[in-house]
A and B are shown apart, each in its own frame.
Chain A
Amino acid sequence: MEQAITVSIVGDARKGPTGHVAPHARGMTSVIASHDAAHCRGRPGAPRLNGMTTTTSAAVEVSGVRRRYQEFEAVRGVSFEVRRGELFALLGTNGAGKTTTMDLVAGFGRPDAGSVRVLGLDPYSDRRKVRAHLGIMLQEGGLPPDLTVAESAAMWAGTLTDPRPVGEALELVDLGHRAQVRVRQLSGGERRRLDLALAIMGRPSVLLLDEPTTGLDPESRRNAWRMVRSLLADGVTVLLTTHYLNEAQELADRLAIMHRGEVVTAGSTAEVVAEHPARITFRLPAGMVEGQLPALPGTRDEPAGVRAEPHEPITLRTDTLQDTLTELLAWARTHRIDLAGLEARPASLEEAFMAVAQNEETYA
């Protein structure tokens, strides 16, 4: 009976507000799918939802959280929630408070104010209950350098209630052939993959990934994404931090951008992207200035701090890229003006992120 509940909740969570299934629900790899189907039957409470589903649909709830280290307030009133079965990405500049937030969700510390709930429980005071359902990938692995890959994995498996077999976990991240190598001798990317293998070893229903693909080569990163997608397809909830905006755009259902300990932008990935304009960049011929441009439809005024210097390229921000560009090109043809280095970029997460980073410069 519990299984039926699990499936229906997960099914709902995979759908957007319009009811269509999120794209990554399709990208399942068979390895995880088959094993997880097996463990769903055998495991007493895979995502243990009984009693919690009625009260909340969020797997992770962070509300009004503050955390101070001595004089420095790393997190200043952060709120967000991660719905069951979705991938939520926390983005932000260095020192924005992402890792501190992750540590609080993981239950390593207690917030100075506000509350954190994971599967309806306090991850700090109910650590043991929560941890049985939580997979955590820290920013740094924390494995003794003199153990081999297989020994590390076996040690970790030994501490878990219902671990995947060591060989299976290592194969999932393509480390089977490195089993007898000491952790000290692994490359940065291999260590990251080992960390990932250990994070999913306990078959978690909530997965916390702190910069999971830092140091991975492009192929390994794609593999990691494929694995994360297949976990999502199985109903696992993922909270992820990353420096790679394309990673968030690729994987996240919803996201928040943090800056100086606060959430400055949040929403579904599509919403956040839509809040930000497309950009057109070009250079005018010598002697012409920006003021000579015609009025173009859809353009927004640049904030004063961003206005181009005389010899720098001009950047136009627009909500209607095609219209603006058409007008601009028509004007240029009519006046026989050469727009050197012309570039048009659609709105993307990168634009949203740069807006935050540029505020940084304006303050500085």
Chain B
Amino acid sequence: MNTRVRAVGVAELRLFGRNRSAMFSAFAMPLLIAAAVASSGITDESGTTATALLLTSLLGYVLLAAVYYNLVTTYVSRREELVLKRLRAGELSDGAILTGIAAPMVVVAAAQMVVFTAAGAILLGVPVPVNAPLMLAGVAGGAVLFVLLAAASTPFTRTAESAQVTTLPVLLGCLLGSMLYPVLDDAPAVVSGMLRALPLSPVVDLMRLGWLGTTGDAPPAGFVEVLGDALLPAGIMAAWIVAGLLVVRRSFRWEPRR
């Protein structure tokens, strides 16, 4: 990693370690959901594929809680503390500043995903990924997407506290969408199309395709065949990333409103 970005990242990691509420939303929420899933007994009844589907949803929640929610709060706090303006007074580029602040959250999220995946593989015996690179690409793209979405959510978030409200549309939309989408097989095409277009959906789709070779009921595809199925979610993800970049470039604010 660029040493300048790392300097900011190290400072942010320290601050993260000193911020209890950020630690809570990053660690406790996914753990609570994981515990709820594990104790619900779903995993016993419905076989390894269903378990893996659940696990990939869980990885998606990690992105939402540890990356998206925490990062909206962090970006806004740093803006209001004038830290962003200070960093812009130095030699860092805008991209390096946003990346440096995001880095610790992404690292924390990645570590949690590794833990959950490993736990799933060992304890629940889920299968070996069909296409591991595709799965990793889904995770990496998802991280970029939610970092950008977090930055794009800051212009209409005045204080770190108001992030609890302003993040709700994305959080609820993604949670509901990813829960409903597999269930609503016979929903009208418009509805399922909209659900597929939600930002978390392509992330979870790519992870499922990479891991299981299928996003649901269809028979699993092989390493190569699965790439064809991945085109649509990859396209949706790319569209979100491009949109996120445009919004951030246009409307990200680096100082508090006067």
Contacts and interface: CB of A to CB of B under 8 A. Distances in A.
Interface residues of A, number: 27
Nearest to A131: B91
A146 B10 contact: no
Given A128-B93, A138-B86, A142-B85, A147 B14 contact: yes
B188 to A, nearest CB: 45
B8 A138 contact: no
Nearest to A135: B89
B6 A142 contact: no
Contact of B6 (A69, A158, A161, A202): A158
Contacts of A147: 11, 14-15
A228 interface: no
B6 A138 contact: no
Interface of B: 3-4, 6-8, 10-11, 14-15, 18-19, 78, 81-93, 254-255, 258
A108 B14 CA distance: 28
Given A142-B86, A202-B90, 20 more contacts: A108-B85, A108-B254, A108-B255, A128-B93, A136-B90, A138-B86, A142-B81, A142-B82, A142-B85, A142-B87, A146-B15, A146-B18, A155-B7, A155-B10, A158-B7, A158-B10, A159-B7, A159-B8, A159-B87, A161-B91
A45 to B, nearest CB: 14
Contacts of B15: 144, 146-147
A202 B84 CA distance: 18
B71 to A, nearest CB: 15
A154 B6 CA distance: 11
A155 B6 CA distance: 9
A151 B11 contact: yes
A238 to B, nearest CB: 16
A156 interface: yes
Highest count of chain A CB atoms <10 Å: which of B4, B11, B15, B83:
B11
A142 B84 CA distance: 7
A169 interface: no
Nearest to A161: B91
A132 interface: yes
A132 B91 contact: yes
Given A158-B4, A159-B4, A144 B11 contact: yes
A144 B78 contact: yes
B81 A202 contact: no
Nearest to B94: A127
Contacts of A136: 89-90
A156 B90 CA distance: 8
A217 interface: no
Nearest to A72: B258
A28 interface: no
B8 A140 contact: no
A256 interface: no
A294 to B, nearest CB: 54
A141 B11 contact: no
A151 B14 CA distance: 9
A143 B85 contact: no
Highest count of chain A CB atoms <10 Å: which of B15, B78, B84:
B15
A231 to B, nearest CB: 18
A108 B82 CA distance: 13
Contacts of A155: 7-8, 10-11
Nearest to A108: B88
Contacts of B85: 108, 138, 142
A308 B179 CA distance: 80
Interface in A143-201: 143-147, 151-152, 154-161
Contacts of A152: 11
B93 A138 contact: no
Contacts of B19: 146
Contacts of B14: 146-147, 151
A154 B7 contact: yes
Contact of A158 (B3, B18, B78, B82): B3
A334 B90 CA distance: 67
Contacts of B91: 128, 131-132, 159-161, 202
Contact of B86 (A69, A143, A146, A151): A143
B73 to A, nearest CB: 13
Highest count of chain B CB atoms <10 Å: which of A69, A138, A144:
A144
B191 to A, nearest CB: 42
A316 interface: no
A106 B254 CA distance: 14
Nearest to B3: A158
Contacts of A128: 91, 93
A144 B89 contact: no
Nearest to B82: A142
A69 B258 contact: yes
Contacts of A161: 91
17 contacts: A69-B258, A106-B89, A108-B88, A108-B89, A128-B91, A131-B89, A138-B89, A141-B86, A142-B84, A144-B11, A146-B15, A155-B11, A157-B7, A158-B8, A158-B10, A159-B8, A202-B90
B253 to A, nearest CB: 12
Interface string A271-292: 0000000000000000000000
B82 A140 contact: yes
